[in-house]
Structure 1
Amino acid sequence: MSKRNVRALKGRPGPLRKGANGGEPRVRAADMLSHALGLFAEVGFANATVKAIAKAAGVNPALIYYYYANKEALFVEALRYAINMAIEGQDGMGIIERTADPAAVIRFWFEKNRQLASPLSQMLKLMIEYRTAGRRIPAVEKLISQFYDAEVLLLARAIRRGIKIGQFRRVDVDRTAIFVSTHLDGLVVSATVRPAVNMARSISHLERVLFDYLGAAAEAVPSAPVGRLQHTVPATRS
């Protein structure tokens, strides 16, 4: 098996070295993935070309083929990149979860999702295409599971702790957490296929529905933690 095919199977870029135009190779690879993510999300796997992605990233197509064996390998890495960005956003919740009350944790989680509306939309588009194409790549399957498991666990912990301290009324914690996570995906997809739908406003509606159900008020999120989270998530092309 060639080295190029081994790289494709492992889902890793090739040896990192200076590109023809200079710059750190890891940064250049991330930039290519960011542009690939945007184009795959915009026109789909079938219509996106390596040439178009290279043009958007300002590199020679040969450089993309240096890192990725083919367009499918690039697609897999773009999906992995999108999921990893979302997981980084989840990691930022750890600070808030350890220092804030349960309602503040949930409010901050909703605010984080409002901020990440564009990359979340791109991630879901790629996930849907990945599923409908019948692709089953273990590393990607693991990343998808990790993302959703972490999301549901965070919500469940906050709701359970809120019930324990009397902040929320008693509810079925796990079912409520899964309901919110699932409906958030539905809102993102709806806003993607229906341009008239305001995603941020829809997420706020879901937030109010949850707090009404829990018997608590959805207060405003403090501005300082929100600013801190913005620095933990790389910007992506919408």
Structure 2
Amino acid sequence: MVGRAYQDVFRLLNELAAELAEDPISECFHTGRSVEFPDRMQLASAKGQVRLVEGAVAPLFSRDGQLTGVVCALRDMGPIRQRAAEALAASELRVKEHLEKLSHVARLHTMGEMASGIAHELNQPLTAISNYCQASLQLMEMVEEPVPQVESALRLAVAQANRAGEIIKRLRALVSKRAMETRLVDLNRWLGTACFLPSMISRHGALRWCSCCIPILFR
């Protein structure tokens, strides 16, 4: 700029101070030495636009060594700062997602421990029920005139108690840590187990299960 004061075109501010004790351009004029801009330097244009900048001011000397002006080199830090802010926000989002996943894993671990404990507690009364029913069957064999309906009901109770015990055993195996195992399984058996509870709920024929005699093997 020739013939105009730089204050008419722009002003130098600082984010940490409303006004500078001495801006770098004036300091360069007074000292005749190059001056770097301090951190968080802002350039405010005459139109009111404010930009975060970095740079330095160097003196210009004539051939006879007189200070005739300065050269100001500026770099707009707004886009760089914006990209840094976006990268920081993305990083914080990833950290938040990782923390949520870790929290979810911790909850699953706690639920697994609870399920294992509940399965252990349920297994004991089921075993007792099965033992009592088997003992009752043995006592009925000593009766001169056993009641077939009672004997059939006891045998069904033993079968269902054993089945419940197997379900609990598989539940404990599901939540426990173990190495992955690959083997052939009969899907009819597993689907029958999966449909057991819905079939108990659906007493009015809304859900029907038909077993296939041909084993469906799946690896």
Which structure would you say has the larger Rg?
2
Q: What TM-score comes out, normalization by structure 1 length?
A: 0.21
Higher-helix-fraction structure: 1
Which structure carries more relative contact order (alpha carbon 8 Å, separation 6+)?
Answer: 1
Q: What TM-score comes out, normalization by structure 2 length?
A: 0.23
